[in-house]
Chain A
């Protein structure tokens, strides 16, 4: 009768190792998890319905089809909010012919400072109001720019604009260091 003796040197199972493909797969998953999140937080304004949105943009509209569109842009050029506000003003007023009604600073509840524009335009002889708020933040590599655009007929502006501005007060960017915070 033979007796089987356990010999670890003769073990058929190799010692446990984490292979390189597994590490890469894990890292990709982690990146996807973190990168897949929305780049900003924007609550849906009152009397608005959230439309088709993605991690870089947000759409909402009213029953009169007044539209709110928030976008995130990551750009290589780094500048402060005054510079970007000037670029926007030049493009919309000088090149596209928008009429600037008013502009000024816009501050969120968390202290993020942006620039607010109110333009008036005409489409098919119907006057429209176009509210634009621009925010900017910086990360290590890039500049993050957030734009919130609200477009409605002039007659609806007084009714819908307060809800939009209230929602924008709660706007939170999730990319970059909020350099413009006060």
Chain B
């Protein structure tokens, strides 16, 4: 009897252990399966294009920066993704949502903008800086130097904003700014050089947060609009939605401008003709040789 009792206890212990181990295995296997379908984001959960997950359908988990703005996709935590439309990937559940009202700046809606979009990497470590530079350079031939400069702007993947005979304002990708500044400095004698770096990280993030809040408010108002019964309430809600929509579009435009200014540095170069420099020879005395033979020093020397 005693042996049977002891054997019974041992069996129940083994069963408990087996149950615990089995539960752990099942749980870990489930987690591993889910993890295999998701890309992990250091900061906040963010779905990858084309991989539908139930997490992606919860906008509240996206975080403040995980939002695509008019083709510029900015993701917090160091992850940067191109616009899904440009990549040809199927729309994520987020984009499958009702489209935003058309932008006043871009006919047909801002999300379908076709121009190449700059990608801004907004991370806690990397600052968002707008670089601008102004140069005044003395060159031997203004016309030739201007031609050379215009050619170089093309090579730098830049474009000319304004130009005249002596002055050109152009924009180049921000990552080439240092190289461009160095090459411009070697064009001639630099008489004036100004480089400005404007940190707009805070301005950018503030704007994005305000945009988030405004969009959330608009969603709530849209929900209220569906439930509203009275005409007076309907009008009030519609007015508020209109106001919010205008504000959202204005903020989006502002973000676009900022992103563009961050992605492309603006450089102004003013060229001036340098007079041919002739080194004046050290005075060797008078042309009239007899004049060189007079003077106090000659009196002392020849006396």
Contact = CB atoms under 8 A, between A and B. Distances in A.
- The majority secondary structure among interface residues of chain A is strand
Contact of A73 (B285, B293, B299, B300): B293
A101 interface: no
Contacts of B32: none
Nearest to A134: B294
Contacts of A69: 299, 302-303
Contacts of B30: none
Interface string A54-92: 000001010000010101010101000000100110111
A147 B295 CA distance: 10
A119 to B, nearest CB: 8
A130 interface: yes
Contacts, number: 54
Contacts of B302: 69
Given A130-B296, A151-B296, A51 B291 contact: no
A87 B291 contact: yes
A60 to B, nearest CB: 10
A161 interface: no
A3 interface: no
Contacts of B291: 87-88, 91
A136 B300 CA distance: 24
Interface string A103-141: 000000000000000010101000010101000000000
B290 interface: yes
A164 interface: no
A54 to B, nearest CB: 11
A145 B299 contact: no
Nearest to B302: A69
Interface in B150-168: none
B196 interface: no
B286 interface: yes
A87 B296 contact: no
Contacts of B288: 75, 77, 84, 87
A87 B295 CA distance: 13
Given A73-B293, A123-B296, A130-B296, A95 B285 contact: yes
Given A51-B303, A59-B303, A67-B303, A73 B290 contact: yes
A128 B300 CA distance: 12
B293 A149 contact: no
Contact of B290 (A123, A132, A145, A151): A145
Interface in B256-296: 283, 285-286, 288-296
Contacts of A123: 296
A96 interface: yes
B303 A92 contact: no
Contacts of B303: 51, 59, 61, 67, 69
B299 A95 contact: no
Contacts of A91: 285-286, 291-292
A59 B301 CA distance: 13
Contacts of A71: 290, 293-294
B293 A96 contact: no
A160 B289 CA distance: 29
Given A59-B303, A69-B303, A96 B290 contact: no
B63 to A, nearest CB: 79
B299 A96 contact: no
A98 B299 CA distance: 15
A67 to B, nearest CB: 5
Shortest Cβ-Cβ A-B pairs, 7 listed: A73-B290, A91-B286, A151-B299, A130-B296, A91-B291, A69-B299, A151-B296
21 contacts: A51-B303, A59-B303, A67-B299, A69-B302, A69-B303, A71-B290, A71-B294, A73-B293, A75-B288, A75-B290, A87-B286, A88-B291, A90-B286, A91-B291, A95-B283, A95-B285, A130-B295, A147-B290, A147-B294, A151-B296, A151-B300
Given A59-B303, A90-B286, 11 more contacts: A67-B299, A69-B299, A69-B303, A71-B293, A87-B291, A91-B292, A95-B283, A98-B295, A145-B290, A147-B294, A151-B296
